[in-house]
Structures are given as structure tokens and as C-alpha cells.
Chain A
């Protein structure tokens, strides 16, 4: 067969994870920013900006997991069992905030603060352990005869913990600029004031991760810094700097839409950088997408359904964002 099914599936899953990071990123970010906003009315607005879409955002995570199982069962088996604790804690965090999200609106005043705390705690836990899992993924896994051969706590390294904190910063900025776009008045002003320090924090942690990664992994350094690769990949860090500069300017000039769009671009650039560092390994540091692939008759079988259903999902997603466009105000009821 001339078609490289593994490549197609790697792109589909890569795209799905990207969709997840971007979309659940800003709604997790809202949970992270909750402690900075005290008033109940403003907290309601924050939640209402994502209420119509957040559960759809999270479904990309389920799809990513199931598609990984179907297309790359070895990667699903090794990566998920190696990242056992961080992933379980992430899932529990997501459950917590999902249920808190719904019941906060339905709870009476005396109990609302409990659901608020569950929402904040769940968002922070889910984001932190997602970042930890990402860091551990970059660090790679020891695999012997198709089985994860490392220890139960190999994921727990200074680098992975730092990645956990870095992701909190990234999602907070996504949430912050999302709110600048979707709100007005005092809440928007508060987010404006938060955006600048958050941009600097994100720039700093991105810088640290970008230096730490090649320093710790010779093959990743080789990928980036050998010639002619350096020239091919140089635009990525340059664009990051350019975007950050534009983002800071946009914040200063009180723009509404561009801060969010520029943050999305930043996240996308970071994601591309990650792809450049790891490609074509789906189980870093050594197992490629082709080695971890399910047989072609499995990948082909699910491709039929995916090609039919994913465009439909994308259209629907685009439509629901279109329907709920525009500013959210305090007097708008609960969605």
C-alpha cells in the first residue's frame, strides 16, 4: 500500500491533542484564574464564557486516548502505564472540575464556595499533572521487549515538575487572554493587569524548558543545532520572540482579540517545537510511530470512521463557537 497509515494517524492524533490543548487550555485556565477574582458575579461571568463549550473541549481528550489505543496500541500501553500516577491524578482533577462546573450553578449560596474550591483545585491538579506527564514524556521511557521497564516514580523529576508549573502558566495566560476577549468592564481590566506579568512568566518558563530540553538530551540538541536543521528551525524561536513582543504591545494598547490569538500562536509554536524535538518517536526516545503502529488492517479500519466523523465534529465545533461569539455580560443567565 502506498498510503502511510501510521503517518496519517500520527497527524490525526497530533491534531486532536493540539485541539485539546488549545481548547481545554483556556477553560482550565479559567479555573486557575478563579482565585484572582473574588466577586461571585464576575466568577459567574468567567464560567459562562466557557460554559457552552467546555465539555466538547474535553471530549477531544477521550478521542485522543481511544485513537491512540486503536492506531498505536504499543504507545498507548507503554506511555499510559509509565505515566500511571500523573495520568490518574489528572483524570481525577478533570472529573472534579467537570462535576464542580455543573453543580456550582445549581448549589445554594452556603455551599457554593465548596464547589468553587473543587473547581479551582480540580483545574490546578489537572493542569499540573498534564504538564508533569508532558515533561516525563519528553524525558522518554525505558522500554525492554515492548514493556515499560522503568520505575513507578521515574516521571517524578525536577524537569517534569517544572513542566507542570510551566503548563499552569501557559493555561493561565490562555484563560486570561480568552477573558479579555470575552468580557468587558472591571473583569476585563483585571485580566489586562494580569496579562503582562503572565506573559513574562510564560516567556521565562518557555525559555527554561527550551534550554533544559536540549541540554538534557543530546539527540534533541543534535536535531535543533546541527546544520542545516538550525536554519530550518530557527524561525520557531524567532517567531516566539516576535509573538511575545506583539502580545505585550497588544495588551498595552488594550486590544480585545489579538492577545488571545497571539497566545494561541505561542502555544502552537511551542507545540511545533515539541514535535520537532521528538519526531518521529511516539515513545521517546527511541520507538517511532511505525514501530508502535497497529497493523494496517486495524489503522485502515478506523480511518474510515474517523474521516467520516471528524470533519462533522469540526463543523459542529466551529458552529457552536460562532453561535456563542461576542461578549458575555453579568446579566446574561447561566448557560
Chain B
């Protein structure tokens, strides 16, 4: 059937479930830190706008966190159900790292999240701020462990192979493998940026509808400072990450560049656009700039970048895919930098909150961070192929070997259930965003707590907005 095999379906299934999952943790990481900053500023300055924003975003954070927990349930099992040969081969290393990720997330949810979401009226401001900080740090520690595991699959070290299986020898070397610091910095920064653009778009959406208050202005202003300062920083981190990849995974770089062959001593050109064709072993319709590839990747004008034909055909990643996912990521990154610069120009003229074309751009840039994260992950993961653990195990040897029928059935079920349920979840988040921040929300004692009528205690019960637009039937249903 279309030449699709069970292995492809297994890969699509993993890509699908993890793509859905990653959206939630990415926003969780960003919002947790944003909330910590807001609360810190509120305690320091006493300006109520920070407190109002804290309460507004805490609800969205809560829904998002809940979605992340539910979609993460599948991830904890999928390595075993779908990639059992990999789990047996590399489990002694990736298993403990995943265990630590789950333990950290569990620890965080068990303790500080409750205080953060429901303790505003019940603990002192200092303790509450501490809880928010711990949640923010906790999300980053979770990121630390899961990226250590993933980075080890790209640049494995600190192990030996006994009886055909990986055995950890030096945990420090395993965790701090060569690509880990770059990937961690790149992903954490990406989560911050994605959140900043989401926050900025929410503010711009309200401003375009004629709603204007200090909280909305503060949202947009903070988001655009992030865009201005962090988007260029992210480009720099990405550059370092790329150099690291060139050193350890040169085939991935060659595929990203659509670069098939070096000619004589010529420096490598940079192909801006084109269509890498895996069968023809060339990049068709290409538009290239001489020597720029060498300049960017080797920071010189004479050293060459490795070319795809230097690798056996069986060891080449799919250039067509990564060439384009990489360009989507970089293109969006460039747009983010430009948005930041435009915001600075408008800010200097005092028109940041009025310029409609800019506000429209800010709305459209809302999902840019999420899309860039997905494109970046496709680049690095597809770029590692045909390996699941670089140089040690091929993806084709890693799967559980389920048949085509089973894989098609489960994939269809995942698609159906995820779109229906997480679609409803995302829709609900958007609904909360549309409601906008409320002035003085934090001053009214919230309902609930032990011994009170309402005792919210789970992430999603922090948000009390209804799921649908309510007309008359709301009253009818609530009697």
C-alpha cells in the first residue's frame, strides 16, 4: 500500500504522539518561568498589573499542564510497546534517564504545583513565590533529564557494550554527552520564545479588538522584549549547536544543506532553496551562494563541509525532509528576530500598542514558536536516521516488529482520539485566552480550600471557565 511498511507506521505513530505531546511541555516550561517572573515583579514593585497577569496565565498554565500529563502517559509506555529492541539494547541508559524525568515531574506535581495554583490565599507571599519558583525550576529539571536521554542517542558516550547491550560506565559522561549542553540550551530557549510569542499574540488579539488595559500592554511589551533579546540569542545558540552537529553527525549537516558533492578545493556553497532528490543524488532547482556554506559552518573560506556522497547510501538521512524542516525553523526564527526589531522601532516612537499591521503580525506569529520547535525536532531526529542511537543501532533494528494491520489500526485510533480530545483541550485554552486578564482578580479570595465549599486541587480545576459558549441552556443545565 503506497510502499508504506509497518516500520514507517511505527515511526509516524511515534512522531505523531510526541509532536502532540511536546506542545504542552514546551508551553509549560515557558509559562512556568513567565509566572515566576511575574510574581517576582509583583512582589518587588507592588504593581497590581503583574498580579492580574499572574492569575490570568496561571489558569492557562494549569490546563496546559493537565494536557501534558495525559499525553505524557502514552509516552512512558511507547518505548516498550513500539521500540522493544531499542528498549532492551539501550534501556540501561535511556531507562534510568526517563525514570528521573518522571520522578521529577511527579515530585513537582505532588508538592509545589498545588501550592502554586491554589495557595494564593492560604500561604504567605514569600512561600507562594518559592512554590512558583520551584515549579519553574522543576520543569527545567525535567527538561534536563529527557534531553540528556535524547542527546545521548545522538552523541553516545560513557558506555560499553556487553553481550550486545549498552552498559553505563560513567553516568557523568552519559548525561553530559557532547550534544547535550547545546540541545538543552536550544530547547529551553525555544520553549521561552514559543511562550513569548503565544503571550504576545494573545495581547495583540485583544488590542486589535479595541480592548486596551495596562495588563494587555504589559503582556505585549514583555513578549516583545523577549523577541528582541532572546530570538537573536537563539540564533547564536543554534549556530553553536550546528557546529557541534557538524563535528559529531556530519551526515546530518550534509543532508540539512542538501549538499551532495565537493568539487576540488572549492569552498562549499550555501544552497538557499532547492529540492534534494534522494534517488538522483542531487539537489534540483537549487539557488546557491558560493562559499557561504563554508563560511557559516567552518567559519573559514577554504575548509569544506562534508558532502552526502561521502556517506554510503544506506547511512544517509533523508535530505528532502530535513532540508525543508530546517528552513522552516530558520525562516520562522528570522521572522521572530524581525518582529523583535520592528517592535523596538515602534516602541521608540510610542506606537507599539496602536500599529495595526504590527499587531496583526504579532497575532500571526502566535504559533510560530511551536511550529519552529516541531520543525527543529524533525530536523534533528530525521537527521539522525538511519540510526536510532547514532552509530550503534539502526532504527530498522529497533522496532517491536508489529504487523502492518496492528500499526494501521492503532495509528488511526491515536489520530482520532488525539484530535478529538486534545483539540477540545487546546480549544478550551484558547477560550481562556479570549477572556483576557481581569483587573484585581487576585484580591478577591478564591473559593475553595479545605473546609470550604469548593476545593479545587487538580491542575484543570484551576480554570473555571465553561467549555462552550453558553446561551440560555447554561442556567437550565445548572439547576
Q: Which residues of A contact B413 (CB under 8 A)?
A: 88-89, 92
Rounded to whole angstroms, the CA-CA distance of A334 and B99 in the bound complex is 33
**Total contacts A to B, CB within 8 angstroms?**
234
Contact (Cβ within 8 A) B455 A107? no
A79-B80, A87-B77, A306-B99 given; name 13 further pairs at CB < 8 Å. Answer: A63-B103, A69-B91, A77-B400, A80-B77, A107-B466, A108-B470, A110-B477, A146-B88, A294-B91, A309-B107, A317-B110, A323-B455, A332-B454
The answer to whether B232 has its CB under 8 Å from any CB of chain A is no
Contacts of B450 in A (CB 8 A): 323-324
In the complex, chain B residues whose CB is within 8 Å of the CB of A139: none
Contact string against B for A residues 61-74, beta-carbon threshold 8 Å, 1 for contact and 0 otherwise: 11101111111011
A312 at the interface (CB under 8 A from B): yes
> What residues make up the interface of B, taking CB atoms closer than 8 Å to A?
66, 69-74, 76-77, 79-82, 84-85, 87-88, 91-96, 98-104, 106-107, 109-111, 114, 167-169, 171, 400-403, 405-406, 409-410, 413-414, 417, 421-422, 424-425, 428, 447-448, 450, 453-461, 465-468, 470, 473-474, 476-478
- Which of B171, B410, B448 meets A301, CB within 8 Å? B171
> Which residues on A sit within 8 Å (CB–CB) of B73?
58, 61-62, 91, 94-95
A295–B85 contact, CB under 8 A? no
What residues on A are CB-neighbors of B459 within 8 Å? 55
CA distance A309 to B103 in the complex (A): 7
Set of chain B residues within 8 Å of A91, measured between Cβ atoms: 73-74, 77
Complex interface: chain B residues within 8 A of A309 (CB): 103-104, 106-107
Could you tell me the distance between the alpha carbons of A312 and B403 in the complex, rounded to whole angstroms? 43
Query: In the complex, what residues of B have CB within 8 A of residue A68's CB?
Result: 80
Q: Does A229 contact B (CB under 8 A)?
A: no
Would you call A193 an interface residue if the criterion is a C-beta within 8 Å of the partner chain's C-beta atoms? no
A147 in the interface, Cβ–Cβ < 8 Å? Answer: yes
Closest Cβ of chain A to B409, distance in Å, is 8
Q: Which of A239-258 contact B (CB under 8 A)?
A: none
When distances are taken between beta carbons in the complex, the residues of chain B under 8 Å from A306 are 99, 103
Q: Are A84 and B95 in contact, CB atoms less than 8 angstroms apart?
A: no
Sampled A-B contacts (6; CB under 8 Å) = A73-B87, A76-B91, A80-B80, A85-B409, A91-B74, A148-B400
Chain A: minimal CB distance from B82 (Å) = 8
Chain B nearest CB from A177 CB (Å) reads 23
Interface residue? A291 (CB, 8 A): no
Interfacial chain B residues near A214, Cβ < 8 Å: none
Least Cβ distance of A30 to chain B in Å? 15
The answer to whether A67 and B461 have CB atoms under 8 Å apart is no
The answer to whether B168 touches A295 (Cβ under 8 A) is yes
**Does chain B have a CB within 8 A of A112?**
yes
Q: How far is the CA of A78 from the CA of B85 in the complex (A)?
A: 9
A270 within 8 A of B: no
- Closest Cβ of chain B to A98, distance in Å, is 5
Are A51 and B406 within 8 A (Cβ)? no
Which of A76, A99, A316, A317 is within 8 Å of B80, CB to CB? A76
Residues in chain A near residue B85, CB distance under 8 A = 77, 147
Cα(A289)–Cα(B182), bound, Å? 38
- A89 and B450 CA atoms in complex are apart in Å by 36
Asked if A272 is at the interface (CB within 8 A of a chain B CB), the reply is no
With beta carbons under 8 angstroms apart, the residue of A65, A73, A87 that contacts B92 is: A73
Q: A65–B76 contact, CB under 8 A? A: yes
Q: Determine the residue in chain B with the shortest Cβ distance to A315.
A: B110
Name the A residues within 8 Å of B76 (CB-CB).
61-62, 65-66, 69
Docked Cα-Cα span, A317 to B99, in Å, equals 20
Contact: B458 with A298, CB < 8 Å? no
Cβ-neighbour of B410 out of A88, A313, A317 (below 8 A): A88
- A103's nearest neighbour on chain B, judged by CB, is B467
Q: How far is the CB of B153 from chain A (nearest CB, A)?
A: 14
Bound-state Cα–Cα, A109 to B478, Å = 8
**Residue A102, interface by CB 8 Å:** yes
Judging by beta carbons under 8 Å apart, are A316 and B110 in contact?
yes
- Among B74, B84, B107, B405, the residue within 8 A (CB) of A77 is B84
Instruction: Pick the residue among B100, B406, B421, B474 that contacts A152 (CB under 8 A).
Output: B406
Task: Indicate if A56 sits at the interface (CB-CB under 8 A).
Answer: yes
Complex formed: what's the CA distance from A108 to B470 in Å? 7
Which A residues touch B77, using CB under 8 A?
A: 65, 80, 87, 91
In angstroms, Cα B104 to Cα A147, docked, is 31
Complex Cα spacing A67 to B98, Å: 8
Q: B477 and A102: CB pair below 8 A? A: no
Using CB atoms, name the residue of chain B closest to A118. B421
CA distance A294 to B96 in the complex (A): 9
Contact A335 B110 (CB under 8 A): no
Query: In whole angstroms, what is the CA distance A331 to B454 when docked?
Result: 10
